[in-house]
Structure formats: structure tokens, C-alpha cells
Amino acid sequence: MAENGAKATVTLTIDGVEVTVPSGTRVIEAAEHVGVVVPRYCYHPGIPTRPAQCRMCLVEVEGRPKLEPSCTLQAADDMVVNTASDTARTARQSVIEFLLVNHPLDCPICDAAGQCMLQDYAYVTNQLESRVDEPKRIMGRDRISDDILYFADRCVICTRCVRFMRDVAEDDSLIVAQRGDKAYIDTFPGRELDNPFQGNIVDVCPVGALVHEDFVFKARSWDMDATASVCPGCPTGCNVTIDTKENQIVRVKPRHNAAVNSWWMCDYGRKHLVMTNRGVRAEVPLIRDGGGDGDDGGELRPVDWATALDWVAEKVAALGAPGGSAVVSPDASNENLFYLRTLLDRLGVADAAFRVPQGETAELPTVPTLKLRADRAANAAGAGFFGGRRADGPPDGPAGGALVVLDDELEGAGEDFGGSADFFLYLGTRLPGPARNADAVLPIATFAEMDGTFTNFENRVQRFHQALRPPGLARPGWMVLSRVLARLGDGEAVNDVRGAFERMAAQAPAFAGLTWDGIGLKGAPAAGSAAEAAGVAGPAEAGA
């Protein structure tokens, strides 16, 4: 900002590379522009306070007698910064040596091993031996909340956790107790750590001092696969990384997205996502076609996909457009909802009710967009785009015509739900009791088992990716529905989410102009949404 005659940008030299950054930028951030990551512990881009207390990011600035902490040092014109000079390196090595004096070096059993900044920097500085003969101080571990463990010996007292709670969550229940080598993180006397966003202190911890209890000793960092995804817990749609091991979700971490969740996510989202893929699943297509060994012909029988799809397409073709009703899940992806809408239009079904469970809300005071919202569903906005109607109470089947259910658990539905419909098609990840009345059950994948997009509360379309293999014969809903439609002569069977998304973008006005690649990993506002009107950069504009 050109205030008091100050320039909007400054140009400085870092490690011999000239870089121009907005004025007010700290040197540690400017260095990232030229690809230099200055070692740091206490600095975190998402935490506003910078105490410069870890002394890890010291850099040499020409013309200044002492080293300067780059996390607080403002970039200035003509500044010549050297992050890797001998003096800076020696200072860093001394810091590491000090930190390792009391560090237990229990990397073999530490859950942060492989993703630990102390481990990384100890290797980088080649700190192989300790010059200290004294025994290490031993503090043991503590439970600082009902689900977070604190391993005091591993802690480097960077105070990221304390400052996250105090400055981001505005909850001063965490403190640094004692001083010097006896310092440790604890809850303030008489206070408890029970903030709905406290899980983030585990993510900001640069070492393995803070660990979620349900992750302790679960998986080594190199055994896990990370997949970019979106939290389905509420309409906020926090960007997350799902860590999987042996086809199980073992951990969920927030992924940075300045427009949605900044660096954080709520604890409800973490726990909800891990539980998403548990439980008994529908794994095989079932149809009630009168075949099989039963002579009554009234039983659902398991068949292969080709048989099931042929039969469903045949039934749909025979029905024509009888009308009826549909129940959809607000957790279904945009592509699933789009293909379902296409099928419903063919059947003449206008109404698609969706029910959104409600829960308590929680806010992170300093990040206005990040909120645990009352709606407990990922894609109510998407369901709205495709003719969905928000409904309350248990679903009731129509008195004739077609009934199509997309992944709704049918809670509260009567035992004879759908019994009076001419044709009852159930697409679901699970098989609740009332779904057994269906004429055909097609097993589909959960969001973690396929690629797709959700639309969040401000109509931001965000991509998620396949983290797990679906069980049995379950397949993504768009893959299944596109095949039913292809058999009816409507479009092609798609195997790739790009194909599904392209068709959706071409036919659904809300997604006009969006492309799968253009959305990228950060999402883009849907056409005509408030976010787009406000001028949030999106590929729709970039492409125009």
C-alpha cells in the first residue's frame, strides 16, 4: 500500500537471487519465492505471532554485525541476505545441538519419524554426536486433552501449539509451564483443553511431541499414501489430505486453501472422515428379476454388473416416464447427482428430496470462512443445483411410478418403504433395511473411493480424489449411472471422472465453463455463485 510514500514492493537479494516482493513481507517468506526454505520451528505461516524464539531461521544480512531471525525481519530494498553462509550454518548447527541435548532420539518409535523437522535438520546439519556427558532429562508423556498425547521429551518448545490456541483459536488454555530445560506444554491450571479445533496443534507440531491418541503407533510415515481430498463433514468443505495404509484411512490432515479453511480443520471433520468408510457395505449388484433358483421369483439375487445394468436399463425403458419420487443423499458428489438427475428426467421424476442431518456449530474466530456448520453434509448445495428439495422427517415412498434412492440411509422409513412403487431403484454404499424392498440395488463407492467434486456452502466446486479401493463390486455412482444411460442411448459410458465432469459442465448451467483441470486442487466458484460475483479468481474467468 502506498501509504506515507512507502513503496508497494521491495527488491532484495537472497542467496544471490534478486526477488521482488510486496513490502512488509518477511525475509523467510521472500526466501520461499526464490526456492529457499529457511529452517524454522516457531514460524508457521498460519499463526500470526512470530516470537522468533527458536533461533533456527537466523540468516546473515550484509552490513549487519549480527545474524537476524528471518521470520520477523522485514524485507527491505537492497537488502542482501545470505541464508547459507558459514556463520548462519554454524548458528543453526548450535541450535540443533542444543535441542538434541535432551531429545530422546526415539525416532524408531516416534510417530513423526520421516515427517519431523528436528530429524530433517539434524541430518542436514550433520549433527552426529553429542558433546554432552550428562544424562538426558526424562519427563515422560502426558495426556493434554481427551484425544491428544504430549511427549514432553520430544518437545522443542517452539510454542506453535500454544500460539495456535491463543492467537488463532483465541483459547488460552495451553501454556508453557516451567522454564529452561524443564519447560513443557501444559493446560493452564484449572483449565481443560476442549476446543473444537484443538486437533490442529498436532499438525503444527514440527516434531512428534503432540500426537493424536488414535494415531499413536498406527503407521510409519513412509507406509502411508497421501491423497488430496475434501472433508465431507459439513458444507464448509475443508481441503484435506487423507493418509491411507493398506486400504484404511489412518489419518486426516488439513490441506492449505486460503479461500476455504486456511491451514486448519475442525476435530469433528477429522473423526467423521476416519469413520466414513467403516461398517458393512453393499458390495454386489442385486436385482429382483424373477430369475435365480427361487421359484417365487420375488427374491433379490446377486448378479454381475452387465446383467444388473442391462436389466435396470430394460426396466427404465419399459417404464417410460411414469413420474414418482426420489430420495438423494446430500453427501453424493456433483457428478453422481448430475447423472441421477439425467435419469430422473427420463423417468419424469421432478422431485428429489434430500435430508440434511443437523449438528452443533463451531467457529474458528480468526478464520471467518472456516466454521463447522450445522448442516452435516458435504454437498447440499450440489443437491440443490440438481432439483433437490430440502426435506424433513422420514421419507415416504410414492404410491406408484418410479422411486429412486441415491445413497440415503432411509432412516425412519417404514418397513414397506417403496413397496407400492412400480420400480424401486436403490443406489447405495450400504444396504439399510428398507433398501431390501428395492427391485434393484446397485452398490456404489463412497467419496473416499472415487474421484469427484463437491459444492461447498459458498458454491465453490472442489475436487476430491480416490484414496481407497472400493469394496467388492462397488463402483463410483457416475460410472454406474452413465452405463445405465448409455444403454438407453443417452451419452457414453464413462470410466474417467473427467468424462463425467465434462458432460456435467456442458449440460448443467451451474457448472458451465468449469473444467476438471481448471478447478485444480484449490477449487473454483460455480457459475453465478456469490463467490464468482465477488470476483474470486476462478478458471471460468481465466478461460474467458
Partner 1 sequence: MPGDVKVVERPRAESSYVRAAAKGMSITMRHLLSPNKKTQQYPDEKWELAPRTRGTHRMAVHEDGRAKCVACGLCPTVCPVNCIKLVPAEDESGERYAAIYEIDEFRCIFCGYCQEVCPVEAIHLGVHYENAEYSRERWVYDLERLVEQEHDVTALWDPQDPASQ
Which residues lie near partner 1 (CB under 8 A)?
Answer: 107-109, 113, 141, 216-218, 220, 222-223
The minimum distance between CB 175 and partner 1, in angstroms, equals 24
The minimum distance between CB 521 and partner 1, in angstroms, equals 29
Task: Indicate the residue among 189 and 222 with the shorter CB distance to partner 1.
Answer: 222
Task: Indicate the residue among 108 and 489 with the shorter CB distance to partner 1.
Answer: 108
Task: Indicate the residue among 11 and 221 with the shorter CB distance to partner 1.
Answer: 221
Q: Is 399 exposed, middle or buried (0-12, 13-18, 19+ CB in 10 A)?
A: exposed
Beta pairing partners, 211: 149
Q: How far apart are CA 17 and CA 35, in angstroms?
A: 10
CB 240 within 8 A of CB 254: yes
Q: How many CA atoms lie within 13 A of 130 on its CB side?
A: 14
The minimum distance between CB 399 and partner 1, in angstroms, equals 54
Q: How many CB atoms sit inside 10 A of residue 509's CB?
A: 11
The minimum distance between CB 174 and partner 1, in angstroms, equals 22
Q: How many CB atoms sit inside 10 A of residue 437's CB?
A: 23
200: nearest Cα among 362, 312, 65: 362
* Helix (DSSP H) and strand (DSSP E) numbers for the chain: 14, 26
Task: Indicate the residue among 166 and 220 with the shorter CB distance to partner 1.
Answer: 220
Task: Indicate the residue among 184 and 424 with the shorter CB distance to partner 1.
Answer: 184
Helices (H), 107-238: 117-124, 160-163, 200-204
Q: How many CB atoms sit inside 10 A of residue 465's CB?
A: 16
Q: How far apart are CA 246 and CA 121, in angstroms?
A: 30
The minimum distance between CB 213 and partner 1, in angstroms, equals 9
Task: Indicate the residue among 213 and 496 with the shorter CB distance to partner 1.
Answer: 213
3-state DSSP assignment of residue 129: coil
Task: Indicate the residue among 220 and 301 with the shorter CB distance to partner 1.
Answer: 220
Task: Indicate the residue among 147 and 451 with the shorter CB distance to partner 1.
Answer: 147
Helices (H), 291-396: 305-319, 334-347, 380-385
For 443, 495, 502, 503, the CA distances from 492, given in Å and listed in that order, are 20, 10, 12, 10
CB 420 within 8 A of CB 386: no
528: nearest Cα among 509, 515, 544: 509
The minimum distance between CB 162 and partner 1, in angstroms, equals 24
Task: Indicate the residue among 243 and 439 with the shorter CB distance to partner 1.
Answer: 243
3-state DSSP assignment of residue 359: coil
The minimum distance between CB 368 and partner 1, in angstroms, equals 39
402: nearest Cα among 327, 482, 488: 327
Task: Indicate the residue among 224 and 344 with the shorter CB distance to partner 1.
Answer: 224
151: nearest Cα among 190, 194, 205, 199: 205
377: nearest Cα among 338, 336, 405, 408: 408
477: nearest Cα among 535, 376, 408: 408
Q: How far apart are CA 384 and CA 382, in angstroms?
A: 5
Task: Indicate the residue among 29 and 142 with the shorter CB distance to partner 1.
Answer: 142
The minimum distance between CB 251 and partner 1, in angstroms, equals 15
The minimum distance between CB 129 and partner 1, in angstroms, equals 16
Task: Indicate the residue among 219 and 391 with the shorter CB distance to partner 1.
Answer: 219
CB 97 within 8 A of CB 90: no
Task: Indicate the residue among 80 and 250 with the shorter CB distance to partner 1.
Answer: 250
What is the pairing mode between strands 362-363 and 324-328?
unpaired
What is the pairing mode between strands 324-328 and 352-354?
parallel
The minimum distance between CB 402 and partner 1, in angstroms, equals 48
Dihedral in degrees, nearest 10, Cα atoms 341, 344, 348, 352: -80
The minimum distance between CB 472 and partner 1, in angstroms, equals 24
The minimum distance between CB 229 and partner 1, in angstroms, equals 25
The minimum distance between CB 109 and partner 1, in angstroms, equals 4
Beta pairing partners, 358: 375
Task: Indicate the residue among 34 and 219 with the shorter CB distance to partner 1.
Answer: 219
The minimum distance between CB 149 and partner 1, in angstroms, equals 9
